[in-house]
Amino acid sequence: MSYTLIAVLLMALVTYIPRVLPISIFRKEIKSKYIKSFLQYVPYAVLGALTFPDIINSTGNYKTALFGTVVALILAYMEKSLVLVALGSILTVLVMGIVF
């Protein structure tokens, strides 16, 4: 098996296990409010760290990326949908790419 295939199967396994383990085994609720809180906070912490500062390098030009980031932040603050925030950000980068 190739390096990529093994890596992908490992990824699939550790994506599948957290999805099915609790729903298959735990029929009771977690008691510890600290563990529950930690698990609830994980998505925000992980998405924050995945996004910043790497978003600045996502378009190959930090100036266009900066404008795209600001537009995404504004649209997200206005609670626009995922698709709208993504498209607005992409369009901004495209337009700014003509300027810079």
Partner 1 sequence: MGTYLPNKKDFVYGFKRGFPIALGYIPVSFTFGLMAVNGGISPLMAVFISLTNLTSAGQFAGTNLIIEGAGFFEITLTTFIINIRYMLMSLSLSQKINPGISLLQRLIFGFGITDETFSIASVEKGKLSYYYMMGLITGPIVGWSFGTALGAFTCSALPQSISNAMGIALYAMFIAIIIPPARKSKSILMIILVSIGINMLLKYIPLFSFISSGFRVIIATILGAGTGAALWPIEDERKE
> Contacts with partner 1 in 25-84 (CB under 8 A)?
26-27, 29-30, 33-55, 58-61, 64-65, 68-69, 72-73, 75-77, 79-83
Distance CA 68, CA 20 (A): 36
Q: Is 1 in the site for partner 1 (CB under 8 A)?
A: no
Neighbouring residues of 79: CB distance < 8 A, sequence distance ≥ 6: none
Residue 41 CB partners (closer than 8 Å, separation 6+): none
How far CA 51 is from CA of 17, 21, 37, 40, 66, in Å, comes to: 25, 28, 22, 18, 12
Distance of closest approach, residue 43 Cβ to partner 1, in angstroms:
5
Closest distance to partner 1 from the beta carbon of 93 (Å): 4
Select the residue interacting with partner 1 from 1, 4, 62, 99 (CB under 8 A): 4
Size of the residue set binding partner 1 (CB under 8 A): 77
